[in-house]
Structures are given as structure tokens and as C-alpha cells.
Structure 1
Amino acid sequence: MMLEPSIDALQTKVKSKYTLVILSAKRARQIKELNNLMIDHPKSQKNVGRALEEINAGKIVLENNETLAK
């Protein structure tokens, strides 16, 4: 089973795997609470997967240790 997006693709956006985990978990909680998905037609049914898709799409970025939604 292949996960989408791949870790290699995500690491072009966020260099640290630890930061990627924290960022995606934080965004998944926001998606759950606010139901404000930033991408159309996500492949994943779970909020963490959707958060990773948003990061891969460039909708969520990390600047100066702050999560920014574009």
C-alpha cells in the first residue's frame, strides 16, 4: 500500500520529519474543529491525510516556527 502524498514529496516542503508530524497534527485538529478544508477533492478520508495533502499542495507553510495558511 502506497501512502499519498509520499514522504519524499512532503520533505521538499518541510525539511524535518518531526516538524512535518507536528504541523500535520495541528492542521488535522483545525480541520476537525473548523471543517475548513483548503483543497478540493482530497484523496484521504482522514483529517491527518487531508492535512498532509494541503501541505503537499503548498496551502500550509511553516515560517519562523509559525503555521501559516495561504
Structure 2
Amino acid sequence: MKQPSLDILLSKVDSKYTLVLAAAKRARTLMEDPEFEVNYRGSKPVSLAFDEIAKGKYHFELTREGIK
């Protein structure tokens, strides 16, 4: 899987900090899925999270308490 460029990723968020928080949260969610190893064999969760953010598949809300 080809990694999305930083320019594309940053166009989806307001800062690099938000990008890292959103990707980390999504990666943790992917890792909690019991079928992660079966469905995404050989893929790393952070790479998948960045790909989903770039494609607009992962939607998040930035609040005062954090990303939801």
C-alpha cells in the first residue's frame, strides 16, 4: 500500500498534532478489533489509519476534551 502524502493528510486536518492524534486513536481502534489480523494481514494499523484519513473514510470531531 502506498502511503498518502503529507500534503493530502494535512488538507484533511487543521494541524500535524491533530493528524497524529486522530491516526493514533484510529490505530488503537483497529488493534482492538478481534478480526484485525485476519482482515488486514501484513498491514500496520497506523498506516491504515493514515490511509483512511486521506480517503475521508475516518471522520473525527475535535473537541476540548480530545478527538471523538
Same fold (TM over 0.5): yes
**Aligned partners of 1:28, 1:18: CA distance in 2, in Å?**
15
The within-5 A match list for 1:1-70 is 4-34=3-33, 45-65=43-63, 66-67=67-68
Higher RCO (CA < 8 A, seq sep 6+): 2
Between the two proteins, the alignment pairs up a number of residues equal to 60
Q: CA RMSD in A?
A: 2.4
AA partner of residue 26 (structure 1): K
Tell me which stretches of 4 or more aligned residues in structure 1 moved more than 2 Å.
61-67
Name the structure with the higher strand share: 1
User: Offset of 1:61 from its aligned partner?
Assistant: 2.3
Gaps of 5+ in 2: none
Q: Calculate the TM-score normalised by the size of structure 1.
A: 0.70
1:28/1:62 CA distance change after superposition, 3 Å = same
Identity %: 43
